Amino acid sequence: MNQKLSFGEPFLETRYLESEEAFEVTFPSVLVNLDKEQEVIINGEFELAPLKAMAVRDVTVSVPGKALLIVGYDTINLADRITMNALCAAWKSNYQLTGLPQHKNSPYIKSPKETLGNVSVNFCLVADPDAPSGIHKDHADPKVQELHVQIVGQGAVDLMKSQDPDSMYASLPLSAGSTHMATWNKEGAYTWHRYRSITPCIFLGVEVH
């Protein structure tokens, strides 16, 4: 299956791949393995582990499970005011989505969410540098596996001892095309954590149920 998705348009082209034996990737793209168990094979030799991501171009990918391909990430310039304004106008702010007072001036702007079976994905623009999200460890679905895949710019996932911002004990840096190691243990329990922009950026939020 090779299905074009619309949740990133007109800024990012996204394709959902499932049970694809040999899909040709020509343009610079971010490849995200959405499968919890099976590797994606690149050029018949390199294995992209489950729930991992990487930047690729001019490759053939074999997807026995499922994957997401994001094309056009290298063309987005967030320093361009026209581009930034267009993104902010097309997507919705945290405050628009939740109506919560604490989100009124949030620089987090989100695309529509796409659900692909047991996987939900959406893009998130963080319009400001050094802008942390809320610190959390619980999710609506206690079995969810949450990933942040960096698409444009730089960010980090910070690990915390508590909800106190000063309790950070580790930071997992993210550059375009990368994701982080699991922030949950073998039982599926999370440590306190948050996403934090380093530069204005876009990341892909992934929830695997």
Q: What is the structure's pLDDT at 44? A: 95
The pLDDT tens digits for 138-173 are 887 878 999 999 999 999 999 999 999 999 999 999
Q: Which of 54, 51, 56 is nearest to 25 (CA)?
A: 56
The pLDDT tens digits for 55-68 are 999 999 999 999 99
DSSP string, 9-38: TTT-EEEEEEEEEEEEE-S-EEEEE--SSP
Stated pTM of the model = 0.95
